[in-house]
């Protein structure tokens, strides 16, 4: 295949992602499947599970990935329309050697992509470029593989009902965002005796109500209002492919995912003193102290679900999470990002403590913070901008302490800031946090001044600092 037909830009850091019809076509997706089959079969793999989300292009793409894998001689287990964590779970449950999930996650409707695993560990980074090179020249083998299908939703629910038990009277509100969550989350909670009040549970790849991203506050407003007005233990928001979760406490307050990571760390460290906890650079400055106070060892990581999973494997960590809502529980869990498992663990902790959801976050400092602000910048320039900023702050950190593990992270006595390049979209990601509003504005002005010399639009940052 002509290398020009497999655009390098779709092979991103964590997965393959692009605009349907422009970057991703059925022919391209099949060739990627063929290349993946060649790569995995060369390692001795025999079977791959394939699933897809609810976007219009996802089922046709899954069929073409299947065809490519079969042409490479691998057997394929089709698991149909499922959330991403059920694809991961199916790889384990069915004994497959790898998995492919067709999903655009929370991206706009015109996008789609492929999340690829060897076992349940992601194939990512430089290895995706290796896959691209293999796929460009891949050819069908003489003896194709065979395709079978498997239903995994009910077995998954049965597995989780064995793992979790709850007292009578639990009630939750959820926002499925018209993604993959509804057909799994509702019967799962109900099988556990939990009453569910669901917003937007019908799968609809046009996302008529809002994009399914639980870390964007405005998308969670209706869920927050519902929880505040009702009698719920808490609320949960799920992203499009259900590997990320957002939590709303019983008062209707959106809790940041790093708050939830602290709650999980405390719970798990009571069982495994001295355990390692991984958190990403977008998480708050107070996390390492809170983890240490709970008896754990904090480990700072670059952002990315693939990266934190790899870091878990390297370090033997019992828990890893990032601000976007990817949370991987190894101790007592499967070790991959499963929004349903995270939701059930949240309820398990509430039940074990006999209190309210907000009690899980006791002792977490009340900070003034922006959400994750995404500033549009072209793919060609985003890394150049960040590289220039790293050099600038290395020379003069402005009284702060610089960490340049993943972009620019500056810590001050009264707060911190982060500017990094997104690995999934044409954006810079910015976070600012201060002990009070004055600190937030002061540190925010440092971010603004740093970015004003670059061709970026700062309207979203201004809005975040003023809201």
User: Which burial class, exposed, middle or buried, applies to 133 when counting CB atoms under 10 A from its CB (0-12, 13-18, 19+)?
Assistant: middle
Q: Out of 105, 256, 284, 301, which one is annotated catalytic? A: 105
Helix ranges (DSSP H) in 165-281: 182-191, 221-229, 257-269
Secondary structure class of 277 (helix, strand, coil): strand
Per the structure block, which two tokens stand in for 139? Answer: 């050819």
* Interatomic CA distance for residues 390 and 421, integer angstroms: 12
Cα-based angle 90, 92, 95 (whole degrees, multiple of 5): 95
User: Does residue 305 contact residue 326 with C-beta atoms inside 8 Å?
Assistant: yes
Rounding to the nearest 10 degrees, give the CA dihedral for residues 356, 357, 363, 367.
-130
* Interatomic CA distance for residues 79 and 100, integer angstroms: 10
Annotated catalytic, 105? yes
User: Which burial class, exposed, middle or buried, applies to 95 when counting CB atoms under 10 A from its CB (0-12, 13-18, 19+)?
Assistant: exposed
Distance in Å from the first CA to the final CA of the chain: 51
Annotated catalytic residues are 105
């Amino acid at each position: 295949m002509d290398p020009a037909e497999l655009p390098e830009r779709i092979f991103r850091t964590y997965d393959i992602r692009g605009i349907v019809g422009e970057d991703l076509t059925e022919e391209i997706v099949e060739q990627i499947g063929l290349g993946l089959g060649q790569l995995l079969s060369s390692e001795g793999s025999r079977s791959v599970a394939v699933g897809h989300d609810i976007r219009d292009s996802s089922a046709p793409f899954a069929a073409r990935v299947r065809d490519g894998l079969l042409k490479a001689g691998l057997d394929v287990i089709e698991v149909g329309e499922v959330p991403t964590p059920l694809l991961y779970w199916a790889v384990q449950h069915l004994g497959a050697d790898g998995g492919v999930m067709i999903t655009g996650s929370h991206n706009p409707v015109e996008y789609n992509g492929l999340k690829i695993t060897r076992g349940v560990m992601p194939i990512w980074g430089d290895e995706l470029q290796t896959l691209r090179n293999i796929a460009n020249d891949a050819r069908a083998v003489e003896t194709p593989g065979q395709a079978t299908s498997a239903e995994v939703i009910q077995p998954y629910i049965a597995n989780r009902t064995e793992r979790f038990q709850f007292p009578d009277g639990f009630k939750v509100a959820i926002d499925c965002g018209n993604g993959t969550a509804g057909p799994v989350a509702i019967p799962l909670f109900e099988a556990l005796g939990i009453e569910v009040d669901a917003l937007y549970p019908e799968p609809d790849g046009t996302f008529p109500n809002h994009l399914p991203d639980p870390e964007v506050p405005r998308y969670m407003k209706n869920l927050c209002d519902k929880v505040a007005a009702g009698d719920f233990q808490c609320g949960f928001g799920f992203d499009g492919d259900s590997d990320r979760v957002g939590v709303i406490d019983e008062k209707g307050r959106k809790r940041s995912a790093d708050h939830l990571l602290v709650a999980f760390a405390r719970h798990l460290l009571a069982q495994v003193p001295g355990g390692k906890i991984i958190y990403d650079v977008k998480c708050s400055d107070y996390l390492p102290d809170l983890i240490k106070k709970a008896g754990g060892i904090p480990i700072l990581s670059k952002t990315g679900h693939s990266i934190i999973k790899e870091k878990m494997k390297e370090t033997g960590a019992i828990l890893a999470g990032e601000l976007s809502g990817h949370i991987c529980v190894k101790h007592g869990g499967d070790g991959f990002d499963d929004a349903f498992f995270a939701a059930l663990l949240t309820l398990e902790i509430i039940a074990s403590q006999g209190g309210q959801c907000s009690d899980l976050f006791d002792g977490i400092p009340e900070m003034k913070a922006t959400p994750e602000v995404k500033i549009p910048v072209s793919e060609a320039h985003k890394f150049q901008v960040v590289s220039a900023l790293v050099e600038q702050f290395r020379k003069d950190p402005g009284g702060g302490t610089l960490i340049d593990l993943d972009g620019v992270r500056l810590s001050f006595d009264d707060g911190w800031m982060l500017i990094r390049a997104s690995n999934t979209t044409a954006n810079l990601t910015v976070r600012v946090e201060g002990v009070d509003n004055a600190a937030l504005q002061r540190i925010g002005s440092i971010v603004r001044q740093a970015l004003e010399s670059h061709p970026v639009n700062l309207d979203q940052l201004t809005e975040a600092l003023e809201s």
